[in-house]
Amino acid sequence: MSVPHALLALLSEGPKYGLRLQNEFEARTGEVWPLNVGQVYTTLQRLERDGLVETDGDGERSQKRYRITAAGAQELGEWLRTPPELVPPPRDELVIKVLVALQVPGADVQEILQVHRRHVIEVMQRYTRIKADAAQDDVPLALIADSELFRLESIVRWLDAAEVRLKQLPVPPATATAADPRPEPTRTEVTR
């Protein structure tokens, strides 16, 4: 979440005091992203230094009213249209765990996939409860919850796809005969 740009967006409606910016930020993000007033002032200071906002007074910071400048409005417009960083992909811990599990003798990869699937869905249930308990016209909160839910759902879909792909793998001879889940003596024990 870009706090500077969120503040610029709030100021594009008209000049505001720092405290009001803090309240409006929290109200509009469904209070999911709390922001303390110190962060607001530090950010405003930086925006002022960069010429993106200006103030109408020299008094205490709480007495100052902030206004967006033409440069600030242009910056906001550009930021809204700039795609977020999507490549290179973040190193995904879950993908790594599953890839590692494939190498660990005796690891039940399907069971590992299910452990993660259950966990992700439990987190999704919590986000859904936030949405279920909120007023139906609380659009900002629904948007935040949706973004988390769809991100999490993509993990579940990846786990589902992994499950199907692993089932299609030919059974390696080592595990086909091994009713005993312990690694075979000829294999190198993986150090934990």
Binding positions for other proteins, rule: CB under 8 A: 31-34, 110, 114, 117-118, 120-133, 146, 149-150, 152-153, 156-157, 160, 163-164
CB of 65 or CB of 131, closer to other proteins: 131
**Are the C-beta atoms of 187 and 102 separated by less than 8 Å?**
no
CB of 62 or CB of 154, closer to other proteins: 154
In the bound complex, what is the minimum distance in angstroms from residue 68's beta carbon to other proteins?
27
- Left (φ > 0), alpha (ψ -120 to 50) or beta: where does 54 sit? beta
CB of 48 or CB of 153, closer to other proteins: 153
Question: If DSSP codes are grouped into helix, strand and coil, which group holds residue 32?
Answer: coil
In the bound complex, what is the minimum distance in angstroms from residue 70's beta carbon to other proteins?
33
CB of 34 or CB of 181, closer to other proteins: 34
In the bound complex, what is the minimum distance in angstroms from residue 4's beta carbon to other proteins?
17
Q: Where are the beta strands (DSSP E) in the chain?
A: 16-17, 53-55, 65-68
Distances in whole angstroms, Cα of residue 124 to Cα of each of 40, 75, 145, 171: 30, 35, 9, 34
In the bound complex, what is the minimum distance in angstroms from residue 34's beta carbon to other proteins?
5
Give Cβ neighbours of residue 117 (< 8 Å, ≥ 6 apart).
Answer: 156, 159, 160
